[in-house]
């Protein structure tokens, strides 16, 4: 198990620090940075905030807030998406995966995929 963890960590460092990365990770993470608000009917109260957690732009943290509740997590740029593992604020155990696609500079398509249950599709626009 330790070998697997070490191998994954090494590959991650190589990928983030490598010129072989397909997209410019820093520019791609800048696409997501900031605050977004939901425009999906009946979920307009959702807010999604992204910020970089490392200087290389490979890792982003996110906070999804709604009705006084916050989900927090972090993730990495994977292809044309940002994939996050999220948990309820204060919990160390992630319970859902959030996949974010940038439609354009002002719009995000977001899928919230719980470990069990139905996937939720949302649309967000910049709230900066």
Q: CA 67, CA 111: separation in Å to the nearest integer? A: 19
In the block, residue with structure tokens 């977001």: 110
pLDDT, one tens digit per residue, over 52-95 is: 876 655 678 999 998 888 999 999 888 888 899 999 877 888 88
- Mean pLDDT of all residues belonging to the chain: 78
Instruction: With beta carbons less than 8 A apart as the criterion, state whether 124 and 117 touch.
Output: no
Q: Poorest-confidence range of 6-10, 17-21, 85-89? A: 6-10
pTM attached to this predicted model:
0.73
Going along the chain from its start, the domains and CATH numbers come out as: 23-126 (2.40.128)
Count Cβ atoms within 10 A of the Cβ of residue 74 and give its class: 0-12 exposed, 13-18 middle, 19 or more buried: middle
Close Cβ partners of 27 (under 8 Å, ≥ 6 residues apart): 57
SS (H, E, C) 57-106: CCEEEEEEEECCEEEEEEEEEECCEEEEEEEECCCCCCCEEEEEEEEECC
């Amino acid at each position: 198990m330790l070998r697997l963890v070490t191998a994954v960590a090494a590959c991650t460092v190589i990928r983030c620090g490598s010129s072989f990365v397909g997209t410019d990770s820093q520019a791609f993470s800048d696409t997501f940075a900031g605050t977004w608000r939901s425009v999906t009917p009946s979920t307009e109260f959702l807010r999604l905030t992204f910020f970089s957690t490392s200087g290389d732009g490979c890792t982003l943290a996110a906070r999804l807030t709604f009705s006084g509740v916050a989900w927090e997590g972090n993730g990495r740029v994977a292809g044309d998406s940002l994939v996050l593992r999220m948990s309820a604020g204060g919990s160390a155990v992630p319970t859902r995966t959030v996949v974010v696609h940038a439609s354009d500079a002002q719009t995000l398509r977001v899928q919230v995929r719980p470990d069990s249950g139905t996937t939720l599709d949302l649309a967000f626009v910049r709230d900066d």
